[in-house]
Amino acid sequence: MNEAGVYGMVAEFGDATTLVEAATAIKQQGYRQMEAYTPYPIKDLHEIIPGSNFVPPIVLVGGLIGAATAWGMEYYIAAIDYPINVGGRPLYSWPMFIPILFELTVLFAGVFAFFGTLALCGFPRPHFPLFNLPEFSGATSNRFFLCIERGDLLYDSESTASFLQSLNPIGVWEVEDI
Amino acid sequence: MPESIALEERQRHTARPLDPNNPLEVVAPGTTFETVSEQISSIVLTRKTPLFWWCTFGFGLFLFVVFGISIAYLLAKGIGIWGVQIPVAWAFAITNFVWWIGIGHAGTLISAFLLLMNQGWRNSINRFAEAMTIFAVMCAGMFPLFHLGRAWIFYWILPYPNTMTAQPNFRSPLVWDVFAVSTYFTISVLFWYIGMIPDLGTLRDRAAGGFKKGFYGVLAFGWRGSSHHWRLHQTACLLLAGIATPLVLSVHTVVSFDFTIAILPGWHSTIFPPYFVAGAIYSGFAMVLVLGLPLRAVYGLHNLITVRHLNNCGKLMLVTGLFLAYTYLIEPFTAWYSGNDFEMYTVHNRAVGPHAWSYWLVILLNVVIPQALWFYKVRTRVVPLFTVSMVVLVGMWVERFMIIVTALDRDFLPSSWSNFVATFWDNAMFWGSIGMFIVLFMLFVRFLPMIPMAEVRELLPFSKPGGGTEK
């Protein structure tokens, strides 16, 4: 297979234990562009395969925008745009603004969390090169995969394959990038 | 060697992710990654739809049609077709609203609060509980909407630049309610959906092909279980849980403000927010059991919804029920202690007035009968637990009715007193909303994974590295 049209080298492992051991070994070998595919989250992998996580700041910004929106809207409407004089009570009655302030903070934080996570995941992306591998459909049920991507500096069809074979996998495949 | 056996036994238990002192399993032995995936996805993808589903769906659809007719007639005639008048201007519609939205709260409590508390047992029941929340909030939203009378101009309550140059009054709890309920609905849907994406990926990958694969493929957004995605997904779920937990408390607090900000005796009380929230979670857990027990029996989910779940839900019902019993005690005490004639008369009117039946029914259904939950045998057996849950659901509806109607019908001036009598359309609208709930819930059960497969996999003993293998 011509390396140019390749997405990466995929190896399947029998369980979480061997997967984490293999991921550690691959990292020690010097590979950096690696990704694991598992049917449920495995926390140990997050240390072995580091990655960015911008979800918390996105949610914080969303919450702050929500709070500012609520406060600005309530102040503008209640005190400037449509003032209602109730027995001379203050127009800027901020304690009464708190419930909506809270709700809009939560609403914006939640909407930012949802769409921010989708964006960071690159979703929607209905097709992915690894879906070309028939075995890969098990990655969402009971099968554990590791993929060394072609962009890795150490990637080489033959040496990477033989290295993965040495980690006692169930199978090793080179997957096309279609 | 009994000692070594005991040690071995203890080690066997401590190796599990759950409370080692509890003999009850949260997932039955013999469950593997593959059996969970097959068991849940086959309900959606391959298994024949059971007769139970068709019967329930048909019953729900019938009531849903009744709902549609009620709404059509209401829009044509106006809310005069209900029994509401002055002073009882809120009756069934607001009762139904408060009841439905309260039912939703247990779903969020299970999916959000118990996630923050790291309660692994909630994993297998959170999906359908969250679906229950969404559909309950949808039913709840119908009632204030149609109670407006002119439902087609409901958007007047929203702040937007308009030719009338009028704006909502942000000092009104009714406006807070619009924001609270719509936020609650939105956040519930987003939380539910983001939790479901990995399972939709499973359905996509297990679908035989064609339309089903495409359908779930689109819904799954391309989920493939990569560790980077899991990291983002886990963070998002945790943060959504963190904001949904105070949200759920705020929503019923704001609902209780609809009453307690008014100066009416029987409503104007600082105990209302915790009173309403406790009642909400109480009725919500009852609904979780009323839905979960039949699903468990029909779809054979005994290995995932175990005796431990029933026991825990029963305990939570008992606790929230006792909160509620406390507020029932404090209400008359506060009225007596205030020395206020009108407050004391409201208590008197509740106990012996024209709606005394509702007061005593509430005490019986919400306080007396649920004390059966003290017994392990009641909490862990299907028929008694289901019966108590139904009792609580009815009791909570009657409670909302009692709070609203007995405070309104006899307020300060005897000359303005009146009574409330429900009409046919009051009842039709209520039962119709139950139909809407059943239809939506049955469609969910048929087309979406009702148990979170990925989260159940995490509970299995061999899911952690070093935990051995399932093969």
Distance linking the first and last C-alpha atoms of chain A: 13
E strand or H helix at A12: strand A6-13
Chain-chain contact of B243 with A55 (C-beta, under 8 angstroms): no
Residues of A in contact with B217 (CB under 8 A): 126
- The four Cα atoms B232, B462, B45, B237 give a dihedral, to 10 degrees, of -20
> Are the CB atoms for B277 and B105 separated by under 8 Å?
yes
Mean pLDDT of the B61-82 span: 95
CA-based nearest distance A123→chain B, Å: 6
| Average pLDDT, integer, range A18-24 | 90
pLDDT tens profile B240-270: 999 999 999 999 999 999 999 988 888 998 8
Q: Cβ(B135)–Cβ(B444) under 8 Å?
A: yes
Q: Is the peptide bond before B87 cis (omega within 30 degrees of 0)?
A: yes
Q: How many CB atoms lie within 10 A of CB B270?
A: 9
Cβ atoms of residues B237 and A114 within 8 Å? no
Distance CA A156, CA B334 (A): 79
Supply the DSSP symbol for A166.
T
Q: What average pLDDT score do residues A11-18 get?
A: 89
Nearest CA in chain A to B230: A41
pLDDT score of B279 more than 50: yes
- What is the model's pLDDT at position B373? 94
Please indicate whether residue B165 or residue B392 has the higher confidence score (pLDDT).
Answer: B392
pLDDT of residue B175: 92
pLDDT tens-digit map of B43-55: 888 888 899 999 9
Contacts of A111 in chain B (CB under 8 A): 186, 190
Per-residue pLDDT, A3: 66
Percentage of residues in chain B having pLDDT higher than 90: 64
A170 contacts A18 by C-beta, under 8 angstroms: no
Q: Which of A82, A97, A99 sits opposite B166 (nearest CB)?
A: A82
Which has the higher per-residue pLDDT, A178 or B264?
B264
Please enumerate in sequence order all residues whose Cβ is within 8 A of that of B204, keeping only pairs 6 or more positions apart, or say none: A140, B213, B216, B217, B219, B220, B223
Q: What is the pLDDT of residue B471?
A: 54
Q: What average pLDDT does this structure show over B192-213?
A: 91
Q: Quick: pLDDT tens for A92-129.
A: 999 999 999 999 999 999 999 999 999 999 989 888 88
Tell me if B194 sits within 8 A of B236, measured CB to CB.
yes
DSSP calls for chain A: --GGGEEEEEEEESSHHHHHHHHHHHHHHT--SEEEE-SS--HHHHHHS-----HHHHHHHHHHHHHHHHHHHHHIIIIIIS---STT--S--GGGGHHHHHHHHHHHHHHHHHHHHHHHHT------GGGGSGGGGGGGTT-EEEEEETTSTT--HHHHHHHHHTT--SEEEEEE--
Give Cβ neighbours of residue B389 (< 8 Å, ≥ 6 apart).
B285, B286, B287, B289, B290, B293, B317
Q: What's the whole-number average pLDDT of chain A? A: 90
Q: What is the DSSP letter of A81?
A: I
B112 DSSP 8-state letter: I
Q: Which helix (H) or strand (E) holds A171?
A: strand A171-176
Residue A136's region, left for phi above 0, alpha for psi from -120 to 50, else beta, is: alpha
Compute the distance between CA of residue B348 and CA of residue B353 in angstroms, rounded to an integer: 7
Contact A110 B243 (CB under 8 A): yes
For residue B222, the chain A residue with the least C-alpha distance is: A126
On chain B, the residues whose CB falls within 8 A of the CB of A132 are none
Rama region for A168: left / alpha / beta (φ>0; ψ in -120 to 50; rest): left
Q: How large is the average pLDDT for residues A156-161?
A: 86
> Which residue of A82, A110, A130 is in closest CB contact with B186?
A110
CB atoms within 10 A of CB B447: 14
Q: Is the pLDDT of residue B402 over 60?
A: yes
SS3 at position B226: strand
The verdict on a CB contact (< 8 Å) between A46 and B227 is yes
Q: Using alpha carbons, select from B387, B396, B305, B330 the residue that is nearest to residue B358.
A: B396
Among chain A residues, CA nearest to B205: A137
pLDDT of amino acid B13: 40
Q: Predicted ipTM?
A: 0.93
Residue B19 confidence (pLDDT) above 70: no
What does the alpha-carbon distance between residue B33 and residue B471 come to, in Å, rounded to a whole number? 10
Spatial separation of the C-alpha atoms in residues B451 and B124, rounded to whole Å: 5
Question: B170: distance to nearest CA of chain A, Å?
Answer: 7
Q: With bands split at pLDDT 50, 70 and 90, how would you rate the model's confidence at B36?
A: confident
Tokens of A142: 């009971």
What strands, in cross-sheet order, belong to the sheet with A144-149? A34-37, A144-149, A6-13, A171-176
Nearest CA in chain A to B221: A124
**Residues sharing a CB contact under 8 Å with residue B283, sequence separation 6 or more, in sequence order:** B99, B102, B103, B106, B392, B393, B396
Nearest CA in chain A to B216: A126
B187 Cα to chain A: minimum distance (Å): 6
* B358 HSE (CA, 13 A, CB side): 20
With vertex at residue B169, the alpha carbon angle to CA B412 and CA B100, rounded to the nearest 5 degrees, is 70
- Residue B154 CB coordination number (10 Å): 13
**What whole-number distance in Å separates Cα of residue A147 and Cα of residue A12?**
9
Please say if the pLDDT value at position A86 is more than 80: yes
d(CA B260, CA B290): 31
Q: How many helices (H) and strands (E) does chain B have?
A: 17, 0
- Tokens of residue B207, six digits: 């679908």
- Residue contact A77–B455, C-beta within 8 A: no
Over the stretch B321-361, which tens digit does the pLDDT of each residue have? Answer: 999 999 999 999 999 999 999 999 999 999 998 999 999 99
Q: How far is B290 from B22, CA to CA, in rounded Å?
A: 25
Question: pLDDT tier at B20 (50, 70, 90 boundaries)?
Answer: very low
Q: What is the pLDDT of residue A167?
A: 87
- The rounded distance, in Å, linking the Cα atoms of A106 and B184 is 9
Q: What pLDDT does residue B329 have? A: 93
